[in-house]
Amino acid sequence: MATIARSSPPRAPGARRIVRAAGRLFAQHGYAGTSMAEVAEAAGVSKATVFHHFRSKRALYDALIGEAIVGFREQLVPLLEQDEEPEEGLRRFAAAHVQRLARLRGTMRLVMREFAEGSTATRETATGSAMAQNFSLVVEALKRAQARGRVRADADPGLAAFVLLCTSWLLMQTSAITRRHPDLAVAGDPERYAAEFARLIYHGLEPRPTPASRKKP
């Protein structure tokens, strides 16, 4: 199994500028459609400087994706481990996830573009990687909640994790349209979205019994 990426020392300002420039270009043109010369020009540095910080385009791509992966694990996964009601934990996770996606919109667009196109770089990044392990960490957190009796025993934790992550991502990537739709008012209010989504994913669509409908002992 691949080793989970760990935190690294802060990058030099020049390296951070290169990563940001690469992120914009990769998001616009894809991995294969971006050259290191274009990255250097966009970052305002020489091509030699780019290679000084990153030995190859793949290393630069991995650095960009790696920062997002490590940040997700360190900032978001612990929210599912809090000793609180599951619905509240899901709400806090969804709110933080949406905020993070908004900050990393370009990087997330890059990741999903590469996934959709099925590039070699993405297959290597996604299969057995820290990205895949991050997903498994969310699944494992839900399984532990099941073991403690705080999540329905017959729920599929993998599917729940997939819905939890993908719904927030799709909301942010389509927010320019969805927030204007009258039936998706929650798209324009991250806090309301998080609360409504947590309620929906935790309780489902089944109506709760009213006091009058409950059978008396």
Within-domain flag for 199: yes
Q: How far apart are the first and last CA of the chain?
A: 54
The token pair at 145 is 């909640």
Q: Are 57 and 36 in contact (CB under 8 A)?
A: yes
Q: Tens of pLDDT along the chain (217 residues)?
A: 233 344 444 567 778 889 889 988 887 887 888 999 999 999 999 999 999 999 999 899 888 877 777 778 888 888 887 777 888 989 999 998 888 888 877 777 776 765 666 555 555 555 456 677 888 889 998 999 899 999 999 999 999 999 998 898 888 878 778 878 888 888 788 899 999 999 999 998 878 676 665 555 5
Q: How far apart are CA 97 and CA 173, in angstroms?
A: 13
Q: Are 27 and 113 in contact (CB under 8 A)?
A: yes
Within-domain flag for 44: yes
- 3-class state of residue 97 by DSSP: helix
Within-domain flag for 89: yes
Query: Taking Cα atoms as reference points, which of 12, 41, 14 lies closest to residue 25?
Result: 41
What's the domain range around 47? 13-204
Within-domain flag for 6: no
Within-domain flag for 2: no
The predicted model scores a pTM of: 0.71
Within-domain flag for 86: yes
**Domains of the chain: total:** 1
Q: How far apart are CA 43 and CA 19, in angstroms?
A: 8
210 contacts: CB under 8 Å, gap ≥ 6 = none
Burial 88-114 (b: 16+ CB within 10 A, else e): ebbbbbbbbbbbbbeebebbbbbbbbb
Within-domain flag for 87: yes
Q: What is the CATH number of the domain that holds 35?
A: 1.10.357.10
Within-domain flag for 8: no
